[in-house]
Amino acid sequence: DVKVTQSSRYLVKRTGEKVFLECVQDMDHENMFWYRQDPGLGLRLIYFSYDVKMKEKGDIPEGYSVSREKKERFSLILESASTNQTSMYLCASSSQLEEQYFGPGTRLTVT
């Protein structure tokens, strides 16, 4: 079974802190994705990566950056957390033509 894990299920941070969310997949997938999910807005793509050290902006990249130094690991970084970044963050991975497999999500609260 494909497994996608995320470093934390729940996280509480203060405004202005730097926040790291990590995602690891064990299926040697080329593609990895970071989404945020908010009520009424569905899943929105923040960033994705199609290879090691390769990344591309999604629909809402502002305030976020990413890092992919190894194929199995994709990190989302909030350089200076703000309250409007309080959300559920979901990581996913996929091969080129397959469905995306999701991690359990990290519920981030910024106070």
Partner 1 sequence: EDKVVQSPLSLVVHEGDTVTLNCSYEVTNFRSLLWYKQEKKAPTFLFMLTSSGIEKKSGRLSSILDKKELFSILNITATQTGDSAVYLCAVRHYGSSNTGKLIFGQGTTLQVKP
Residues in touch with partner 1 (CB under 8 A): 4, 30-31, 33, 35, 40-45, 48, 50, 54, 56, 58, 90, 94, 96-97, 99-105
CB nearer to partner 1: give 81 or 102. 102
Look at strands 64-70 and 73-78 and give their pairing.
antiparallel
Q: How far is the CB of 71 from partner 1 (least distance, A)?
A: 14
CB nearer to partner 1: give 18 or 57. 57
Q: How far is the CB of 100 from partner 1 (least distance, A)?
A: 6
Q: How far is the CB of 17 from partner 1 (least distance, A)?
A: 25
Closest to 27 (Cα-Cα) out of 90, 88, 102, 77 = 102
CB nearer to partner 1: give 81 or 91. 91
Closest to 5 (Cα-Cα) out of 65, 64, 92, 98 = 92
Q: Is the sign of the CA dihedral 51, 54, 59, 60 positive or negative?
A: positive
Closest to 21 (Cα-Cα) out of 81, 62, 111 = 81
